[in-house]
Structure 1
Amino acid sequence: MSSSSEQKWTFKRIRDLVQAKLGKRPCLWQMKVALALYEGKKDVVAVAPTGAGKTLSFWIPLLMVLEDGQDKTGVIITPLNLLGKQSAESELLARAGISGDVEAGKHRVLVVNPEILSMEGGHFERLWKKSAFTSKLLYFAFDEGHCVSTWSEFRNKYKYMANLRYLISEAIPFYVTSATLPDPILHDVVSILQLHPKNTEYICRSNDRPDIHLAVHRMLWPANSFRDLDFIIKSGFKEGDPPPPKFLIFFDARKETEAAVKHLRSRLPESLRGKIKYFHSVMTSEYREDEYNALRDDEIWGLCVTDAFGMGLDLPDVKLIIQYRVTCDANTLWQRFGRGARGDGQEGIAVLFAEKSFFDSERAKAAEKRAKKPKKRKPRTQKVKDSNAKRARIAPTTSESHASEDEDDPDADTVYLEPLKRDETTIRNAQSARLLHPVMDDFINAPTRGFLCRRKPMSLFFSNDKRGES
């Protein structure tokens, strides 16, 4: 990009500009991203930890072009409406004179989801045909860029984002940023967005969060009792007692969030039961925004949530993050754990509550039990001509079909199948079959597999050993 200013942009000049406009000192990786987007010659992929300031990297190149007197606009494509609203209403924008208010005619930055951006006959379809608009575009930024791959099956408009390159005559750089872009997902994102290897700049940091302490808790009670969460609200809790640390508990089903809240509230006096809420996609956007603000402002203690709260939402002082049950992959787990300790100087605790069947010790016991069990000889039966009678004979009775259910077993709805290979460890749930990825297996069983720290499996999965810390 040719600059109207004779002064060249250096890291020192960028740092001084951001410090003056926003009162923040940018990191080296943020300035590298900004400089690459300002020059506009290459697409950019950036990986940085949750809470590291990826949002700031959207604004710095806009500050640079404004400083040079250029009229430019950035487009941020975001998966979640609340995340987009949070970005557009950032205090940083107000301070720097950058606004996302299209209706007011101040569109230095547009925050939009992929469905609106690619709507047939929509507002953007008309804008792509107007060079007066497209000539002002500085970049297309894909916030939480891993969603281009991981969400593309149910948010299929992500699959067609590369079409933007053919709808617009100008060459506008793509900027993909996320905390969780392991190699398989990154390769998929590169393919979907058609990022050319020789025309893409990679700025990748370790995504480790040493300020978040990791733990795995073996569940002791049936999962649907939620009694493993009782430590959050101690027995006999009464008004005036110190509140629990600010917390988020992640589930993969809306009904579970509501049932967990009901259980935790039952341990509180009636006057305090509104201090714990649930937050999922069925709630109205106004409700979710209100509860997000209430947690931010310490009006409530914690939320039981689904992925509607999972990415990018910036609360500085969440102390406790819990993933309830092993129902997600490593990418999702790391995003959820990353909601904790996002403020300067903060520390948090992140705990995976795992069903006992996922632990090596339990697998060994199950294998030993199977080995000792005598093989049953197949009983000889007479041929049955009547097909209905035959089906009745081989069908299990009601008592037989529930013989394996144990009300005191947190894994009552899970059957462990003998794995063919270690990387094909399969757990069959009563509702669906789910595959336990090796990194999750290693994370759960790190102490018995020679890892000195639970971080090690995650660090290897995300290639943190190959990435810098700048």
Structure 2
Amino acid sequence: MQNQTPETILKETFGYDQFRTGQLSVINKVLAHKHALAIMPTGGGKSITYQLPAMMFEGLTLVISPLISLMKDQVDGLNTLGIPATFLNSTVDGQEQAQRMSDLRHGVYKMLYVAPERLEVKSFFSFVQQLPVDLIAIDEAHVLSQWGHDFRPSYLNILPLLSEIPGNPAILGLTATATERVRENLQELLGVSDDDTVLTGFARDNLALKIVRNQDKRDYIAKYLRENADQTGIIYAATRKQVDELTAYLNKIGIHAARYHAGLSEKERQKQQEAFLYDESPVIVATNAFGMGINKPNVRYVIHYSVPGNIEAYYQEIGRAGRDGLPAEAILLYAPQDIHLQEFFVQKSEGSEAYKQNEYDKIREMNAYANTQTCLPRYLLQYFGETVTQDCGRCSNCLDERELVDVTVDAQKVLANVMRMNQRFGKTMVAKVLKGSNDASVKKYEYLRDLPTFGLMKERTLKDLTQFIDYLTADGYLRFEGAEYPVLKVTKLGADVLKGQGNVTKRLEKVRILRQSATQEGLKLSDDDNRLFAQLKEKRLALAREAGIPPFLIFSDKTLMAMAQNRPQTNEAFLAISGVGEKKFDIYHDDFAAVINDYVVS
């Protein structure tokens, strides 16, 4: 396909009429053999930026991917598109590995997936140096950066090796989560200029963000799953124990759920993952060990049972919902003890003090997000360095109908107390002084009981006070400073409030959040269309089981919905459906056309 244009390949192979934002720009940089960095949201189409050039290059595209458990799914997906691809990792036995390496030498494959650790094996790297590599794509590139949320020092070992691969191949780093600091670090590591960095923005307009506080988490999830019984979703928990207990609870009350965490055997993890990918288990409860690289497009919701340790991980995980562009939602179930759990993880880690400080800062950012009353997408986008002036109008904060009240006086009391305590104490001690507590921790500092702010808010509970402090921190009136034992500091915004130069408002505590379920919002299928859609899904599942691949690798739900709505009667009309390329048309047209025709004439 060296003589075809990217637009032609996009339509004929991938079945899409036009590129998404930023895709063609990245592809052109890759085709020019540049070093480039693509920062696109999860579901933004990063994979096409190296899969399409792989078809245009004469040589091989080497994809460095962090999780070997996902390589097979990615390769299966490419093969269904007619793109010859393979992988080499520890799951491939010796005889099969030798065959694949022989095929690679003879140019059978256009793409090869490997884990970075494999490149460090001298004999294997020597083999790679003999291949005609035109492009090296580094997926999940944020793991290279010490400031990233999933830094893996071993990844840095591969960087010097890349320059030793002959032929001056293009190098492309790809990630969905990069703050300005991470972006600059990746540019330096990969030798990428600003001009060759493509940042498409982090907005996901089809994803409704919601934060739920002060509710029984199990009851909430049980009710939500029953309301959305026909939808697919992921529930993330912080620990293996939480995963096991929640999965057992759901199955006990009649909600079939799979589970996934690193404590399960490889065989069990594979079984559970396949049950989810094949739509046999619509719900999976997992730790963050699950999901990186998962390309299941019809996930309608992601629920965080526990607060993640940082915004980058949260953003990446919620991005697994709605990858097909249809409406989806991400729900964060917030409890203050979740933050303490994340801090405990950092305390027990073996990282340097600088690393721990960075992790504590990220936990506080996550806590601030969970407590803000501003528009949630706007908060996230500003965190990633984007300037946003408009609210989304669909997140739980934007839809919150509780009365907005002026809390300036209470805010001034808290801010004044922090100043009176010389900005040397943490949240709990600040709350205790405001409450007028006489416990041992306060008595230890005798002068605190002599402060004019001691007992100034004694009518409030300690829980109320700490939540109010969290709110003031989230909206920028206070900030934390320090690592394991952070102290509160008054910001310039807070100082202005103390001087009477600004007001603070807050929603009343009575919870009333408008919540839409993930069911059929925005799908716009009639009852008749839905019946045909269900039959098309049945046919897809049967074909997937026969081929041994996940159903979504045949056609996405979005493509089947378009078939159900348009009911194409000619080859041209069928090919015009988004997601139907020539290869898939050749393989699947007759099966799905038969379902449509039978339904139309029945």
Q: Normalization by structure 2: what TM-score?
A: 0.54
Greater helix share, structure number: 2
Report the count of equivalent residues.
Answer: 369
The structure 2 residue matched to 1:292, chosen from 273, 278, 285, is 273
Identity fraction in percent: 20
Q: 1:50, CA displacement in angstroms?
A: 1.2
Aligned residue in 1 for 2:433: 370
Q: Would the aligned equivalents of 1:75 and 1:139 in 2 still touch at CA under 8 Å?
A: yes
Aligned residue in 1 for 2:39: 47
2:238 paired with 1:258: no
Q: 1:56, CA displacement in angstroms?
A: 1.6
Gaps of 5+ in 2: 88-96, 338-366, 373-406, 415-426, 447-462, 489-503, 508-602
Instruction: Supply the distance in 2 between the matched residues of 1:435 and 1:30 (Cα, whole angstroms).
Output: 44
Q: 1:215, CA displacement in angstroms?
A: 0.7
Runs of 4 or more off by more than 6 Å in structure 1? 151-154, 360-366, 418-421, 425-428, 433-436
Secondary structure at 2:299 match in 1: coil
Task: State the one-letter code of the partner of 2:74.
Answer: S
Secondary structure at 1:304 match in 2: strand
Aligned residue in 2 for 1:310: 291
Q: 1:348, CA displacement in angstroms?
A: 0.9
Per the alignment, do residues 146 and 328 of structure 1 end up closer, same or farther by CA in structure 2, a change over 3 Å counting?
same
Q: Which aligned pairs between 1:39-438 and structure 2 lie closer than 5 A?
A: 39-40=32-33, 42-65=34-57, 70=58, 72-90=59-77, 92-100=78-86, 103-104=99-100, 105=103, 106-119=108-121, 121-128=122-129, 130=130, 133=131, 136-149=132-145, 155-193=152-190, 195-197=191-193, 201-221=196-216, 226-233=218-225, 243=229, 245-268=231-254, 275-344=256-325, 346-356=326-336, 359=371, 370-373=433-436, 422-424=478-480
Per the alignment, do residues 88 and 284 of structure 1 end up closer, same or farther by CA in structure 2, a change over 3 Å counting?
farther
Q: Would the aligned equivalents of 1:118 and 1:125 in 2 still touch at CA under 8 Å?
A: no
Per-residue displacement from partner, 1:208-248 (whole Å, max 9, x unpaired)? 11111001111434xxx7444332355xxxxxx98263221
Task: State the one-letter code of the partner of 2:125.
Answer: F
Instruction: Supply the distance in 2 between the matched residues of 1:122 and 1:335 (Cα, whole angstroms).
Output: 35
Task: State the one-letter code of the partner of 2:11.
Answer: Q
Task: State the one-letter code of the partner of 1:88.
Answer: V
Secondary structure at 1:197 match in 2: coil
Q: 1:276, CA displacement in angstroms?
A: 0.8
Instruction: Supply the distance in 2 between the matched residues of 1:434 and 1:25 (Cα, whole angstroms).
Output: 52
Q: Would the aligned equivalents of 2:37 and 2:174 in 1 still touch at CA under 8 Å?
A: yes
Per-residue displacement from partner, 1:59-106 (whole Å, max 9, x unpaired)? 1112222xxxx3x0011111112332222221x444334222663413
Gaps of 5+ in 1: 235-240, 381-408, 437-445, 450-470
Secondary structure at 1:350 match in 2: strand
Instruction: Supply the distance in 2 between the matched residues of 1:291 and 1:321 (Cα, whole angstroms).
Output: 17
Q: Would the aligned equivalents of 1:80 and 1:113 in 2 still touch at CA under 8 Å?
A: yes
Q: Normalization by structure 1: what TM-score?
A: 0.67
Q: Would the aligned equivalents of 2:37 and 2:198 in 1 still touch at CA under 8 Å?
A: yes
Secondary structure at 2:160 match in 1: helix
Instruction: Supply the distance in 2 between the matched residues of 1:186 and 1:97 (Cα, whole angstroms).
Output: 31
Q: Would the aligned equivalents of 2:145 and 2:151 in 1 still touch at CA under 8 Å?
A: no
Instruction: Supply the distance in 2 between the matched residues of 1:422 and 1:88 (Cα, whole angstroms).
Output: 49
Per the alignment, do residues 371 and 353 of structure 1 end up closer, same or farther by CA in structure 2, a change over 3 Å counting?
same
Instruction: Supply the distance in 2 between the matched residues of 1:23 and 1:448 (Cα, whole angstroms).
Output: 49
Q: 1:26, CA displacement in angstroms?
A: 4.5
Per the alignment, do residues 26 and 82 of structure 1 end up closer, same or farther by CA in structure 2, a change over 3 Å counting?
farther
Q: Would the aligned equivalents of 1:319 and 1:347 in 2 still touch at CA under 8 Å?
A: yes
Per-residue displacement from partner, 1:117-147 (whole Å, max 9, x unpaired)? 223x34124433x3xx2xx111111112212
2:34 paired with 1:37: no
Q: 1:23, CA displacement in angstroms?
A: 2.2
Per the alignment, do residues 435 and 256 of structure 1 end up closer, same or farther by CA in structure 2, a change over 3 Å counting?
farther
Task: State the one-letter code of the partner of 2:9.
Answer: L
Instruction: Supply the distance in 2 between the matched residues of 1:425 and 1:250 (Cα, whole angstroms).
Output: 29
Q: Would the aligned equivalents of 1:38 and 1:138 in 2 still touch at CA under 8 Å?
A: no
Aligned residue in 1 for 2:588: none
Secondary structure at 1:167 match in 2: coil
Q: 1:183, CA displacement in angstroms?
A: 0.8
Per-residue displacement from partner, 1:173-193 (whole Å, max 9, x unpaired)? 210111112211112222333
